[in-house]
Structure 1
Amino acid sequence: MDETPRWALPLLFAGQAQKEIQHNEALTLIDALLHGRVESADLSAPPGAPTVGQCWIVAAGASGDWSGQVDAVALWTEGGWRFVAPRAGLRVAVADRDHGLFYDGTEWRGDAIRDDGLYLDDERVVGPQMAAIIAPSGGGVIDVEARSTLADILTALRGHGLIAT
């Protein structure tokens, strides 16, 4: 075996010539993946003037130097483009989306927790906390069961932080 099983990082061997090449290649890939950050996941062609160390997730319809690399993490290095095929569980922050993406083994998906709420299947299901709602009181007809139910709902919403107390 001449590479690691998960990320295909090159391994060193006893008596190997020019070990620094293998070692530097492994460090370059680790640097791209460890607490990863990509500029975008929406480009299908390489950007015009990348900076060494910048990464992108290659979008569908990849062309040019990115042809055949859809979903890979593209890393610009001093030696040109390096590509890392994603593995299930890989998470990266995406600069132009202000939230992260994770690879589920089949596709890139948006993180559930974002600055503006909680998402399921990229649909926001919980947003920012709302203003306080006062408990029911008064009225011409008092329905104890309805008030009790409303009070329980309000208590649950406050307990989850969805509305202020």
Structure 2
Amino acid sequence: MADALLHPVVKGIVTAPPVEASDGEAFIIADNATEAFAGRTGQIALRQQEQWLFVTPAAGMRVFDSILGAERHYRDGWSTPVSLSTPGSGDTIDVEARAVIDQILNLMQGAGLLPSG
């Protein structure tokens, strides 16, 4: 359990316990989950000693999703990275660059890396 929480890696978001899950694997539980995952939306399910252990995430928790290939961040629910547009060229470059900088700042604030406001 400690290893899973110190270096958390999940294998995506699932609605039911994977049939072929191995010890050490972890998953984020989706809305409307069934079977052993019912009523555990947003929690992390860890497979240990052929049983499921559940962790309730705290604000600021990050996990690497190996299926997504990116980090997920928890704050009132799990979020995923957002693609940013890149500035083009020509007369509007300054306006486009400012828009991208605003997007970066908003994402950093949303991820808790910068204070809001």
TM-score by length of 1: 0.52
| 1:60-109 C-alpha deviation (Å, 9 max, x unpaired) | 111111111110000001140000001001101111111111101x1101
Higher-Rg member (1/2): 1
Identity of aligned residues (%): 28
- 5+ residue gaps in structure 2? 102-117
Counting only pairs closer than 5 Å after superposition, residues 99-118 of structure 1 correspond to structure 2 as: 99-104=70-75, 106-111=76-81
Q: For residue 33 of structure 1, what is the aligned residue in structure 2?
A: 5
Q: How many residues align?
A: 98
Larger RCO: 1 or 2 (CA < 8 Å, sep 6+): 2
In structure 1, what is the Cα distance between the partners aligned to 2:50 and 2:19? 16
Runs of 4+ residues over 4 Å off in structure 1: none
Counting only pairs closer than 5 Å after superposition, residues 74-153 of structure 1 correspond to structure 2 as: 74-104=45-75, 106-111=76-81, 119=82, 124-127=83-86, 150=91, 153=94
| 1:26-46 C-alpha deviation (Å, 9 max, x unpaired) | xx2x211112110012x1000
| 1:116-163 C-alpha deviation (Å, 9 max, x unpaired) | xxx2xxxx3334x87xx6x8xxxxxxxxxxxxxx4x84xx79xx8xxx
TM-score by length of 2: 0.71
- 5+ residue gaps in structure 1? 1-27, 112-118, 136-149, 161-165
Alignment-mate amino acid for residue 37 of structure 1: V
